Amino acid sequence: KGCKLVGCGSATPTLKVSNDDLAKIVDTSDEWISVRTGIRNRRVLSGKDSLTTLAVEAARKALEMAQVDPDDVDLVLMCTSTPEDLFGSAPQIQKALGCKRNPLAYDITAACSGFVLGLVSAACHIRGGGFQNVLVIGADALSRYVDWTDRGTCILFGDAAGAVLVQDLLEYNFYKLFVSFGRASCPFNCRFYTLSFILEISALDATFAKLIQLFTLPATVKKMVYLVLTCIVMVMAKGTHLNATMKENEMDKALGSNGSVLGFPPRRSSYSCIQMNGKEVFRFAVRCVPQTIESSLEKAGLPGSSIDWLLLHQANQRILDAVATRLEVPPEQVISNLANYGNTSAASIPLALDEAVRSGKVKAGHTIAAAGFGAGLTWGSAIFRW
């Protein structure tokens, strides 16, 4: 039983933070960041922006492209490691989209591999039967967890959301025949093209979990970091979402002492900042990503030469280049938007896909090799045809 990608969309916050902006708050330079990572700008959530709003906007665009009503969505998968609701953001997205049939909606947490895991889950649901239109959203706001005093990590991340609609095309169109006579043709010409999915999750290796993690700071250090972080980002983002950090700080003051007296376990806010061993993560990505793509291709019975586009999690341009060299994919077939957005975690693949589709780079019938990799450690790949 096959499934197809029939629409995509994306949304990014309005606040743009350049390398030069970051050079004002940490000891770095535009040259260092762009040479080592390929990143020049990133978008950061601020003001009234919320991750849920971005996710809804991206999902709406994907539905519009696919010409599918929110009412026809059977499942919403929100792939994120930074949900605004501890218990999951997918139900709120489903409600905001106005899905009247009240479809199943849940979150998937797998850091930068989240979106590929979401695709796999969507395909499994469709293949299992009973699901015809599955929205897969990748969205993250790692800016909320970045230590803005750590030049080794704060230069890397940005916030964004991307979405695709995965469809059981045969069954859905059969059903549509009975309820209507269809709609105008899709402007992106993707609706009627067959697409086959070959998905693989390579592995999950927790022995390396400490290479990227949220770490716990001693209370005094934590308070100092909150203070510095709040000042910096309030200046940069004009009094924005890190107001929440200030509130957390106040909450800490209010609850922290009681908690420790009563011996409560660490509170949510003890997860302060992202800590990463960049060099080891780099080595892991360059080793594992080509392997997983090669085995996905083998499973699909496709030669490497059949790849039209290499669409990797946008972590670092040097990782993209190294993986492409290993797979013998020429640079002009590597999709990259790192320069504008940095590493947007679970959003990076659908965001880059959406830009490539809307700019006309990715055309109907093209074969795309996608791979996600990141904290966990997790990694996985999917070969699909647009």
* Footprint of ligand ACO on 9-48 (CB under 6 A): 28, 32-33, 36-37
Stretch that binds ligand ACO, among 46-54, 221-229, 260-268, 315-323 (CB under 6 A): 315-323
323 lies in the binding site for ligand ACO (CB under 6 A): no
145 lies in the binding site for ligand ACO (CB under 6 A): no
Q: Closer CB to ligand ACO, residue 62 or residue 281?
A: 281
Other Cβ atoms less than 10 A from the Cβ of 341: the count is 25
- Name the residue number minimizing CB distance to ligand ACO: 374
| CA atoms of 284 and 143, how far apart (whole Å) | 23
Q: Is 112 a catalytic residue?
A: yes
Single-letter amino acid code for the residue at 344: T
Q: Closer CB to ligand ACO, residue 81 or residue 121?
A: 81
DSSP β-bridge partners for residue 214: 274
| CA atoms of 76 and 377, how far apart (whole Å) | 25
211 lies in the binding site for ligand ACO (CB under 6 A): no
Stretch that binds ligand ACO, among 41-49, 99-107, 172-180, 311-319 (CB under 6 A): 311-319
Number of residues this chain uses to bind ligand ACO (CB under 6 A): 23
| CA atoms of 74 and 105, how far apart (whole Å) | 9
Distance of CA 311 to the CA centre of its chain: 13
297 lies in the binding site for ligand ACO (CB under 6 A): no
- The CB-of-88 to ligand ACO minimum distance in angstroms stands at 19
Q: Is 19 a catalytic residue?
A: no
The region, left, alpha or beta by phi > 0 then psi within -120 to 50, assigned to residue 46 is beta
Question: Positive or negative CA dihedral for 358, 359, 361, 363?
Answer: positive
Q: Closest Cα partner for 8 from 187, 163, 197?
A: 163
282 lies in the binding site for ligand ACO (CB under 6 A): yes
Residue by residue, DSSP assigns 226-286 as HHHHHHHHHHHHTS-TTHHHHHHHHHHHHHHHHHHHHTPPPPGGGEEEEEE-HHHHHHHHH
Q: Is 313 a catalytic residue?
A: yes
- The CB-of-274 to ligand ACO minimum distance in angstroms stands at 6
- How many angstroms separate the Cα of 353 from the Cα of each of 115, 347, 362, 366? 12, 10, 8, 12
155 lies in the binding site for ligand ACO (CB under 6 A): yes
| CA atoms of 163 and 52, how far apart (whole Å) | 12
Question: Site for ligand ACO (CB under 6 A): which residue of 100, 279, 287, 299?
Answer: 279
Q: Which is the catalytic residue, given 112, 154, 273, 288?
A: 112
111 lies in the binding site for ligand ACO (CB under 6 A): yes
Positions in the binding site for ligand ACO (CB under 6 A): 28, 32-33, 36-37, 111-112, 151-152, 155, 212, 278-279, 281-282, 285, 315-316, 319, 343, 345, 374-375
Which positions are annotated as active-site residues? 112, 313, 343
